[in-house]
Amino acid sequence: MNKTILCGLTIDEIYEIMQSSGFRMDHARATANQIYKKGLSDLSESNKLSKKLKMFIKEKTLSGLFLPESSFISSDGTQKSVFRRHDGRCYETVMMSEGKRTTVCVSTQSGCRMGCPFCMTGRYGFYGNLTAGEILNQIISIPLSRPVTHVVFMGMGEPMDNIDNVVKACTVMMAEWGLVISRRNITVSTVGITGKVKQFIKESPCNLAFSLYSPFPDERRAVVPVEKSYPSIDIIEIMKSDDKHKDRRLSIAYIMINGINDSDKHLEGLIKLLKGSRIRVNLIPYHPGPDDVNRSSSEKRMQHFRHNLTISGISASVRKSRGQDISAACGLLASQFEQ
Ligand code: SF4
């Protein structure tokens, strides 16, 4: 008999599988609590569940929680964990702490099929979507010394290419019976798949970050192949017209590459594209993979962009590089996997 995997289910779904055996909603709540809040992979060890409920759980379900195969710590404290799927393929999770903030960067796919040539995950290939449970397990089962306050969907994979599991994982993250993480602290990133971005805006109240690379479509097409099918101008328009959650944070992730997309012409293009909107800009240093001759823009150049965007009325910030020495930085995930 196929057992139901609990991690990834909503409380209503957990109730649904137990109600015909005489269990109540408070039993479903207690079970969700042991999975999502306590992170208990073997529920027979729980002292909060009755003997009868534990027998039912053992017979009919699996927790779906499992530890990473390995973890690495960077010199700046960033931690990378590697999980292995049942089919042998891997995906990675990054955890960063700063002040009171602990952010987990989750993967949504093993590899990615968007094929962005500068990204090591894109070069790894595509080996499948992660389930909502596999996405959540990354937050529950990594080694943690402090509670997670923020989640970003910026690990391996294009979240919009696995939208149903991403929206469901967000639901469990936000729920009071789930991980209790504020929607304001959950950000999903995308290179932009028009229909799926619309679906995300409609179905989830979480933040959205759009990876732009260049304000000029011809240039963007060379580094982000999906630009051909899903023009960035359409994604920006969808973001500008989002009035479903007015306090949702909408941002552009702009990876800055020296001499490629950091000229004054690019700065003017960005200002023209975003002026008058509530979309903010996150300027991100470029992390070259092996054999890559490109380099990140200098800190001075990035601050020049930040300053000019800000005085044009566009909120902007410069993100710090983290975890480069363990290949945990943006664009480097999967760089240590076999091709
Ligand atoms: S940049 Fe994002 S969308 Fe492009 S290949 Fe890498 S993971 Fe996929």
Q: Give the model confidence (pLDDT) of 90-101 as tens digits.
A: 999 999 999 999
78 shares its domain with 58: no
CA–centroid distance, 164 to ligand 1, in Å, is 18
Kindly report the protein residue whose alpha carbon is nearest to atom 4 of ligand 1: 116
**Residue 80 sits in the same domain as residue 139:** yes
CA of 157, closest atom in ligand 1 = 7
Candidate of 119, 161, 224, 284 to mutate for ligand 1, largest count of ligand atoms within 8 Å of Cβ:
119
- Given a cut of 60, is residue 206 above it in pLDDT? yes
Atom number in ligand 1 closest to CA 191:
3
pLDDT at position 339, please?
Answer: 44
Check whether 87 has a pLDDT greater than 90: no
Q: Final residue of a domain: which of 62, 95, 110? A: 62
Same domain for 172 and 263? yes
Query: Would you place residue 82 in the very low, low, confident or very high pLDDT band (cuts 50, 70, 90)?
Result: very high
Query: What is the whole-number distance in angstroms between the Cα of residue 11 and the centre of ligand 1?
Result: 32
Is the same domain home to 231 and 247? yes
Q: Pick from 18, 45, 62: which residue ends a domain?
A: 62
Query: What total of structural domains would you count in the chain?
Result: 2
45 and 29 inside one domain: yes
Q: Is 320 exposed, middle or buried (0-12, 13-18, 19+ CB in 10 A)?
A: exposed
Is residue 16 located within the same domain as residue 151?
A: no
Catalytic residues: 92, 330
Pocket test for ligand 1, best of 105, 110, 121 (most atoms within 8 A of CB): 121
For residue 325, how far is the Cα from the chain centroid?
Answer: 21
Q: Give mean pLDDT, residues 269-297.
A: 92
Please tell me whether residues 147 and 192 are part of one structural domain: yes
The per-residue pLDDT for range 223-237, each reduced to its tens digit, is 999 999 999 999 999
- Do residues 78 and 171 both lie within one domain? yes
Residue-wise pLDDT for 100-135, tens only, equals 999 999 999 999 999 998 888 888 899 999 999 999
pLDDT (average), residues 302-325: 91
Note whether residue 229 is domain-resident: yes
User: Which domain covers residue 17, as residue numbers?
Assistant: 4-62
Mean pLDDT over residues 14-43, rounded?
A: 97
Is 15 among the domain residues? yes
Is residue 339 included in any domain, yes or no? no
3-state secondary structure of 130: coil
Average pLDDT over residues 210-230: 95
Give residue 146's identity as a one-letter amino acid code.
R
Do residue 187 and residue 240 come from a single domain?
yes
Ligand 1 first shell, C-beta below 6 A = 112, 114, 116, 119, 121-122, 157-158, 191
Residue 45 has pLDDT above 80, yes or no: yes
Report which of residues 151 and 146 the model is more confident about. Answer: 151
Q: What is the pLDDT of residue 290?
A: 78
pLDDT for position 304: 98
Find the CATH number of the domain harbouring 11.
1.10.150
pLDDT of residue 328: 61
The Å distance, Cα 189 to ligand 1 centre, comes to: 10
User: For residue 334, is it within any domain?
Assistant: no
* Domain-embedded: residue 332: no
Whole-number Cα distances in Å, 161 to 15, 199, 277: 29, 11, 26
In a domain, 335, yes or no: no
pLDDT reported for residue 146: 86
- Of 70, 74, 94, the C-alpha closest to 326 is 74
Q: How many CB atoms lie within 10 A of CB 265?
A: 11
pLDDT of residue 335: 57
Would 50 be classed as within a structural domain? yes
Q: Which residues are bridge partners to 256 per DSSP? A: 285
Q: Are residues 178 and 270 in the same domain?
A: yes
More confident: 308 or 287: 308
Q: Quick check: 265 pLDDT over 80?
A: yes
How confident is the model at residue 120, as a pLDDT? 86
| d(C-alpha 9, C-alpha 112), whole Å | 25
154 pLDDT band, cuts 50/70/90, is very high
Least reliable range by pLDDT among 84-93, 151-160, 225-234: 84-93
Per the prediction, the chain carries an average pLDDT of 93
* Cβ within 8 Å of residue 323, ≥6 positions away: 74, 76, 78, 79, 80, 94, 96, 329
Q: What is the CATH number of the domain that holds 208?
A: 3.20.20.70
* Per-residue model confidence (pLDDT) at position 29: 98
**What is the pLDDT at residue 89?**
87
Is there a single domain that holds both residue 81 and residue 224? yes
Q: With bands split at pLDDT 50, 70 and 90, how would you rate the model's confidence at 331?
A: low
The answer, yes or no, to whether residue 329 has pLDDT greater than 50, is: yes
Distance 122 CA to ligand 1 centre (A): 5
Retrieve residue 187's tokens.
């950000």
Domain membership of residue 136 (yes or no) is yes
Contact predicate 184/246, CB 8 Å: no
Residues 24 and 159 in one domain: no
